Amino acid sequence: MPILIQHFMMKKTFLYLVLAMMPVLASAQQVANSAPKASEATAAPTAGAEAPSAIRFGYFSFEEVFRTMPGYAIAKHHMDDLRLKYDAETKRSEDEFNSKYEEFLDGQRNFAPSILEKRQAELRELMAKNMAFKAESERLLKQAEKDAYAPLKKQIREALQKIGKAKGYAFILNADHDSLPYVDAAMGEDITELIKENLKRCCLLILVLSEYLIPDMVG
């Protein structure tokens, strides 16, 4: 009899445990059903969702655009002419020094000590002046070149801004010197010819306006 009572009590206790665990199990099953599956979390977005757009950019050859600008030939001609003038003056100074130096070599044995010292001082002074002029001429040429080409480079920057905004580019790269060996055609676009055409139209407009405005201003 005690054994039967003990067995009955164990079954009763187990039944109570099952009944007590049922709400917990039901809640856990509900959470499991509501959680997204891994495959669903990584699935492609629905038709209503917008996929992120790929970055688009442009690239061009600065040297090609720069050297084909209508104003480049004029600016280069001016710089070449200025450089020839400086080179001619440098050559004249060098010829003058070489002539005095040869004269010094021919007569140095017969010069009195005071005359020898004077001629040596003259040669040193002339050499110093020639070196100073050459350095200054190089500095002036660099500055003149910068000033002559600055308006052209400004036009290129303005064209890049205009085209970049119109095309929706994230950025525009200079592809000179093999700095862009590979470009995905779906993302990058060569806009060299587009920039050249844009600059030509801009310069043509300036020329047309100048033909109408300058006579009016003179008159």
Instruction: Dump pLDDT digits (tens) for 19-57.
Output: 555 554 455 455 445 545 544 444 455 555 555 578 999
Instruction: List strands edge to edge, sheet with 57-60.
Output: 172-174, 57-60, 188-190
Predicted pLDDT of residue 201: 84
Q: Burial of 71 by CB count in 10 Å (0-12 exposed, 13-18 middle, 19+ buried)?
A: middle
For residue range 43-102, list pLDDT tens digits in order. 455 555 555 578 999 999 999 999 999 899 999 999 999 999 999 999 999 999 999 999
d(CA 58, CA 35): 44
Judged against a pLDDT cut of 50, whether residue 110 lies above it is answered with: yes
User: 139-163: per-residue pLDDT in tens?
Assistant: 999 999 999 999 999 999 999 999 9
CA distance 78 to 153: 17
Specify the pLDDT at position 70. Answer: 87
Q: What ranges do the domains of the chain cover?
A: 57-218
